[in-house]
Structure 1
Amino acid sequence: MPESDIQLSLQVHSSMQTIDKNQWDRLIRDNTPFLKHAFLSAMETHGCVSDRFGWIPHHITLSYQDKIIAGMPLYEKHNNYGEFVFDQAWEQAWHQVGLSYYPKLVSAVPYTPAQGQRFLIDAEVDFISQEKLLDTLIQATQSLATEWDMSSVHILFAETDQQHQIEELALPDFYFRHDCQFHWFNQEFETFNDFLASLKRKKRKNIKQERQSILNNGITFRVLNGHTATDQDWEIFDFFYQKTFIEKWSTPTFNLGFFKAIAKALPDQIVLVLADRENECIAGALMFESDTVLYGRHWGCAENIKHLHFETCFYQGIDYAIKKGLRVFEPGAGGEHKIARGFVPVKMRSTHWVKDNPFPEGLANFIRQERQMIDDYADDCLAHIPYQTRPKTF
Structure 2
Amino acid sequence: MPLTALTSLALLPAAEWDALAPAGQPFLSHAFLSALEESGSIGPGTGWRAEHLLWVENGRALAAVPGYRKSHSYGEYVFDHGWADACRRARIPYYPKWLGAVPFSPVSGPRLLGAPEAAGQLLAALPGYLEQHRLSGAHINFTAAADNALLRDQPGWLHRQGCQYHWHNRGYRDFQDFLDALTSRKRKQIRKERAQVASLGITFAWRDGAELTEAEWDFVYTCYANTYAVRGQAPYLTRDFFSLLAARMPEAIRVVIAAQAGQPVAMAFSLLGADTLYGRYWGCLAEFNQLHFETCFYQGIEYAIAHALPRFDAGAQGEHKLIRGFEPVITDSWHRLLHPGLHDAVATFLEQEREEVAGWAEGARQVLPYRQETEGRKNV
Q: TM-score scaled to structure 2, two decimals?
A: 0.95
Q: 1:105·1:141 contact (CA, 8 Å) conserved in 2?
A: no
> Relative to structure 2, which stretch is displaced further, 157-166 or 46-55?
157-166
Matches of 2:211 and 2:379, distance apart in 1: 33
Match of 1:193 among 156, 176, 183: 176
Match of 2:4 among 5, 11, 29: 11
Letter in 2 for 1:141: L
Matches of 2:59 and 2:149, distance apart in 1: 30
Indicate the SS of the match to 1:358. Answer: helix
Match of 1:46 among 39, 43, 66: 39
Identical amino acids, percent of aligned pairs: 35
Match of 2:146 among 154, 161, 172: 161
Aligned-pair distance for 1:164? 3.1
- String of CA shifts for 1:8-37, please: whole Å, max 9, x gaps: 843211000001101111222242111110
| Paired positions, count | 377
The residue that corresponds to 1:58 in the other structure is: 51
Match of 1:294 among 268, 277, 280: 277
- String of CA shifts for 1:171-215, please: whole Å, max 9, x gaps: 322111111100111112221222111111111111111111111
The residue that corresponds to 2:133 in the other structure is: 148
Matches of 2:379 and 2:279, distance apart in 1: 18
Q: 1:58·1:76 contact (CA, 8 Å) conserved in 2?
A: yes
Match of 1:95 among 76, 88, 98: 88
Letter in 2 for 1:94: C
- String of CA shifts for 1:343-369, please: whole Å, max 9, x gaps: 011111210001122244432221122
- Once superposed, which parts of structure 1, at least 4 consecutive aligned residues long, lie more than 6 Å away? none
> Relative to structure 2, which stretch is displaced further, 383-392 or 319-328?
383-392
Q: Does 1:70 align with 2:63?
A: yes
Match of 1:243 among 212, 221, 226: 226
Q: 1:102·1:150 contact (CA, 8 Å) conserved in 2?
A: yes
Q: 1:179·1:349 contact (CA, 8 Å) conserved in 2?
A: yes
Indicate the SS of the match to 2:171. Answer: coil
Q: 1:185·1:393 contact (CA, 8 Å) conserved in 2?
A: no
Gaps of 5+ in 1: 1-7, 123-129
- String of CA shifts for 1:317-372, please: whole Å, max 9, x gaps: 11111122211111111101111111011111210001122244432221122112
The residue that corresponds to 2:235 in the other structure is: 252
Matches of 1:247 and 1:357, distance apart in 2: 41
Indicate the SS of the match to 1:26. Answer: helix
Gaps of 5+ in 2: none
The residue that corresponds to 1:181 in the other structure is: 164
Are the structure 2 counterparts of residues 259 and 335 from structure 1 closer, same or farther at C-alpha, using a change threshold of 3 Å? same
The residue that corresponds to 1:370 in the other structure is: 353
The residue that corresponds to 1:112 in the other structure is: 105
Q: 2:64·2:119 contact (CA, 8 Å) conserved in 1?
A: no
Q: 2:2·2:56 contact (CA, 8 Å) conserved in 1?
A: yes
The residue that corresponds to 1:341 in the other structure is: 324
Matches of 1:327 and 1:249, distance apart in 2: 36
Matches of 1:58 and 1:14, distance apart in 2: 5
